[in-house]
A and B are shown apart, each in its own frame.
Chain A
Amino acid sequence: MIPLLFVVSVITFFIIQLPPGDFFDTMQADIAANGGAQDAQVFQVLRVRYGLDQPLYIQYLRWVQGWPEGDFGWSMAWNAPVLPLVMDRLVYTLILGSFALLITVTYSLPVGVYSATHQYSLGDHFTSLFGFLGLSLPGFLMALFWMFLGALVLRIDVGGIMSSQYANAPMSMEKLVDMWNHFWPPALILALASTAQLQRIMRSSMLDVMGQQYITTARAKGLRERTVTNKYGVRVAINPMISVLALEVPKMISQSALVGIVMSLPTLGPLFLRSLQTQDMYLAGTMLLFMSLLLMISNLLADIALVWADPRIVYT
């Protein structure tokens, strides 16, 4: 994982400085667009000060150098160190993502088991259709729908982390309720996209397991059907779900960026988009790096969880 992280950081840096020009070119163009005139010399001095005149590999090395001390560079647009800017948003993204993951699992696990034990029943068909809708409606479109609904039908303020009237208000019960009402919709939206896949995997894996002979044996020795399903069936059928869950986490990271932009939430997404537009390279680079890191860690966790859940797998 460490060598992979190294290569990822090199590629990240390379991609981030791909756009032609640098931050000061964008800034200069901005100022010129607003009718101001700026001395090109000033920008040259600034470039030297921020080290943008150096060759790429030196810029890269300088960036990496600070990592052990928690220094991920300087955001030129915010005029602040990168790490504190990113940290808040990373935490919010993580909370939102974990909550979404929790919803996904608590919904799709029982539903998957139900549709397997009641195959071709009305409930099975209905939940499959529902899952299909979730699969086909990507998070950002669903977020748009929700904004549309909120603005047009419910006439409530649905974007952001709280309604505008509470922004400067002291903490109170109403404010908390309001914040919660701004928190669960995006979490649910993120969760919905993943439920379909998980529910289908759980269903097919469960169907597979329930047809095996040890299940017949369990039934034959007189165990109650509930015990057979929960202790014998689900216990084994859950393994593929863990691997699929690992595949869903990257999607969730991606979607949380988009949903965050649409609903103006403090996830990594909106800040990332703005930093790309202004060519604030260290900020953008650090965020891309963190998102990749998040992905790698989740893969690692999934591997560990798989070994833990299935003793037949031996980690070498």
Chain B
Amino acid sequence: MSYRQESEKLFVLYQELDTVLANERYAEIDASSVRDQDESRYSLSQWQLMWRKFVRNRSAVVGGAVIALLYLTAIFGDFIAPYTLTTRFSDRIYLAPQSVHFFDSGRFAPFVYGSKTSLNLDTLERVTVTDYTVKHPIRLFAKGAPYKLWGVIESDVHLFGADGAVVNLLGTDQQGRDLFTRIVKGSQISLTIGLVGVVLSLIFGTVLGVTSGFFGGWVDELIQRVIELVRSFPSIPLWMALSAAIPPNWPPLRVYFGVTIILSLIGWTWLARQLRGQVLSLRSQDFILAARLMGASNARIIFRHLVPASIGHVIVVATLSMPGMILAETALSFLGLGLQPPITSWGVLLQEVQNLQSIALYPWVFLPVIFIVVTVLAFNFMGDGLRDAADPYTR
């Protein structure tokens, strides 16, 4: 842009400023009539406006609350899960979910009846046998298997447990492992793999998207071609092929990061496209020109003006790509291509569901699916609310 053009543009800018100021005067007159109900709106920051709009969307708030609850459960998983992943109850294989009775002869005293499974020798089916003469009281903060919370705090107190007995809220699996424990522990993997994957794609996507939109020219052209190339593969088959390449003898932690990298390998393209569009429209706006005329460097414009201006948008896109990541991990592990036992994720839990026989006889092994669906729904509702809120100036 030549100097003349810029000064012309600046002149136009001044004119526009004039009209804006004039409009504002009108707005003030206008506003005086509605002052009672809406005055506070004018003194709020952008973030406060967003927050207000978000809170007004009830389904988005509920979604957010569910997500917060799920992540809290994952963080305190060792404490909330009553047992460990390796605890096996050999007399309780395929035990049906135990119902908790809250009142014992009129008094509030939660308990479960004693139960175990036995093998039906005719059908080879595991049958849950409940002994109604034995009652096991349930205690909060019961002592159980020792664990190290976040690898630091040693403890043996769990959120709940049965006194001197075993309680399997959601039943057990074919090896007699507590399903509730497995779902809670699985959430630690499934929920973080989405988060790490999104963060990775955010980094790739932001850097490349902003670069592409801001500099334009051959850089833009190159990045767009790469995105086009990545997107000409269907995502799930590509993920499948890539995760098949993870060597089976890798340690679990490396497999975990391998899978996240594979997931973000495609995830970044969407983010980069969105950000590029955002930057392209922002770049031609007056405040960027003003910053440039004041002698701001490229770096300053990018980090001081462009990135903060599009951060709301980035958060929305990140939230909306979370469910895709979580589902992709689930699908891959379900197929046996992603995470493998002994790592426990929701997808690994689903591997057992592939066996129709086990679903038909022991339907509670299907429960992890409910958790996955609830998580995905919650993310979608919250993302939708955030999308509406990210643009707080439209009503």
Contacts and interface: CB of A to CB of B under 8 A. Distances in A.
The 9 nearest A-B residue pairs measured at CB: A254-B236, A18-B245, A276-B244, A253-B234, A151-B360, A136-B377, A19-B245, A136-B376, A254-B234
A292 B233 contact: yes
A216 interface: no
Interface string A53-87: 00000000000000000000000000000000000
Given A136-B376, A136-B380, A261-B335, A250 B234 contact: yes
A140 B331 contact: yes
B241 A254 contact: no
Interface stretch (B118-126, B132-140, B365-373): B365-373
A130 B370 CA distance: 17
A26 B232 CA distance: 30
Contact of B236 (A16, A255, A277): A255
B353 A144 contact: yes
A8 B233 contact: yes
A19 B245 CA distance: 4
Interface residues of B, number: 38
Contacts of B247: 19-20
Interface string B219-246: 0000000001101111111101110110
B369 A152 contact: no
A287 B337 CA distance: 17
22 contacts: A7-B229, A18-B242, A19-B247, A135-B380, A136-B373, A136-B377, A136-B380, A140-B331, A140-B334, A147-B356, A147-B359, A152-B363, A250-B235, A253-B237, A255-B236, A272-B237, A276-B240, A276-B244, A288-B233, A288-B238, A291-B233, A299-B232
A269 B234 CA distance: 12
A93 B352 CA distance: 26
Given A18-B245, A135-B380, A137-B373, A254 B235 contact: yes
Contacts of A284: 241
Given A147-B356, A295-B232, 6 more contacts: A16-B241, A132-B381, A138-B331, A141-B372, A273-B240, A277-B244
Interface string A148-166: 1001100000010000000
A46 interface: no
B323 interface: yes
Nearest to B242: A15
Given A11-B229, A141-B373, A295-B233, A148 B241 contact: no
Interface of A: 4, 7-8, 11-12, 15-16, 18-20, 132-133, 135-138, 140-141, 144-145, 147-148, 151-152, 159, 250-251, 253-255, 257-258, 261-262, 268-269, 272-273, 276-277, 284, 287-288, 291-292, 294-296, 299
A1 to B, nearest CB: 9
A202 to B, nearest CB: 17
B353 A257 contact: no
Contacts of A152: 359-360, 363
B327 interface: yes
A48 B241 CA distance: 25
Contacts, number: 112
B229 A15 contact: no
A77 to B, nearest CB: 14
Contacts of B356: 147, 151, 159
A19 B337 CA distance: 12
B360 A291 contact: no
Interface in B320-342: 323, 327, 331, 334-337
Contacts of B350: 144
A145 B359 contact: no
Interface in B247-278: 247
Contacts of B237: 253-254, 257, 268-269, 272, 287-288, 291
A65 to B, nearest CB: 22
Contacts of B359: 147-148, 151-152
Contacts of B353: 144, 148
Contacts of A254: 234-237
B232 A19 contact: no
A295 B152 CA distance: 49
Q: Which of B231, B236, B247, B366 has the most CB atoms of chain A within a 10 A radius of its CB?
A: B236
A215 to B, nearest CB: 22
Interface in B198-238: 228-229, 231-238
Contacts of A11: 229, 233
Interface string B348-364: 00100110100110010
A272 B240 CA distance: 9
A33 to B, nearest CB: 13
Contacts of A272: 237, 240
Nearest to B374: A136
B306 to A, nearest CB: 26
Given A20-B247, A152-B359, A292 B242 contact: no
Given A20-B247, A136-B323, A254-B235, A148 B366 contact: yes
Contacts of A147: 356, 359
Given A15-B242, A272-B240, A291 B377 contact: no
B240 A295 contact: no
A7 B226 CA distance: 11
B331 A258 contact: yes
Contacts of B372: 141
Contact of A148 (B235, B245, B331, B363): B363
Contacts of B380: 132, 135-136
B232 A4 contact: yes
Contact of A15 (B241, B327, B363): B241
